[in-house]
Amino acid sequence: MNRLDYSVARPAESGLAVNKVIKNTYMLLSMTLLFSALTAAVSVVVQMPPMTHLLSLGGAILLMWFVLPRTANSSTGLWVVFAITGLLGFGLGPMLSYYLNMPNGPQIVATALGGTGIIFMGISGYALTTRKDFSFMGGFLVAGLLVVLVVMLANIFLSMPALSLALSAAVIMLMSGFILYDTSRMIHGGENNYILMTISLYMSIYNIFVHLLHLLGALSGDD
């Protein structure tokens, strides 16, 4: 009888744990998005110079590589997540100022923001409702990311606008794939740490926003 009880109770417990990870991830994600919007607004208002983007991204990446893995299992990890997302938001300031100064800049920024939200909700909703296991995508996504990074590196010196637009389109598709992959990992218990899951989803959203803004800005006819 006891054995039967355990077999019934275990899936229920694991289901509850998964629901808790999903709930905590989305709660922390919405708070970090609001916080980075705030830091981005501050950066626009004080008119930070262009190098802010590079320095903030560099700082955020260092925190992600060296501090977050050591703190992700403690409450300190929450502060680190806010530091990373705050820095990333602050780094967006010069880019946002540039687009906002274009003739239809506010429309482009608002479209990129709304578009990013719709893409994220659509992809997450798809993964959450189909409950399909997308773990098979891992190798493909990371290989794609490596290729994109190498081509980006080459384009810093080649400076080809068409290649830059193609890269932005590729990043949007790749990051959509990462949202599918991460949401599926969350549903199927592949990742139980909501702090790491939040950063992973945040990075996908951040990259979709930045590259959608680039695409819309370049193809709006005013760039």
95 binds other proteins (CB under 8 A): no
Shortest separation between residue 133's beta carbon and other proteins, angstroms: 8
In terms of Cβ atoms closer than 10 Å to its own Cβ (0-12, 13-18, 19+), residue 137 is: middle
Q: Which parts of 132-171 interact with other proteins (CB under 8 A)? A: 132, 134-140, 142-143, 145-146, 149-150, 152-153, 156-157, 169
Q: Which parts of 52-91 interact with other proteins (CB under 8 A)? A: 54, 57-58, 61, 65
Asked if 179 contacts 200 with a C-beta cutoff of 8 angstroms, the reply is no
In terms of Cβ atoms closer than 10 Å to its own Cβ (0-12, 13-18, 19+), residue 55 is: middle
Looking at the Cβ atoms of 15 and 122, the one nearer to other proteins is 122
Whole-angstrom distance, CA of residue 209 vs CA of residue 221: 19
Across 24-43, b (16+ Cβ under 10 Å) vs e yields ebbebbeebbebbeebbeeb
Looking at the Cβ atoms of 25 and 116, the one nearer to other proteins is 116
Q: Which parts of this chain interact with other proteins (CB under 8 A)?
A: 50-51, 54, 57-58, 61, 65, 104, 107-108, 111-112, 115, 118-119, 122-123, 126, 130, 132, 134-140, 142-143, 145-146, 149-150, 152-153, 156-157, 169, 172-173, 176-177, 180, 212, 215-216, 219-221
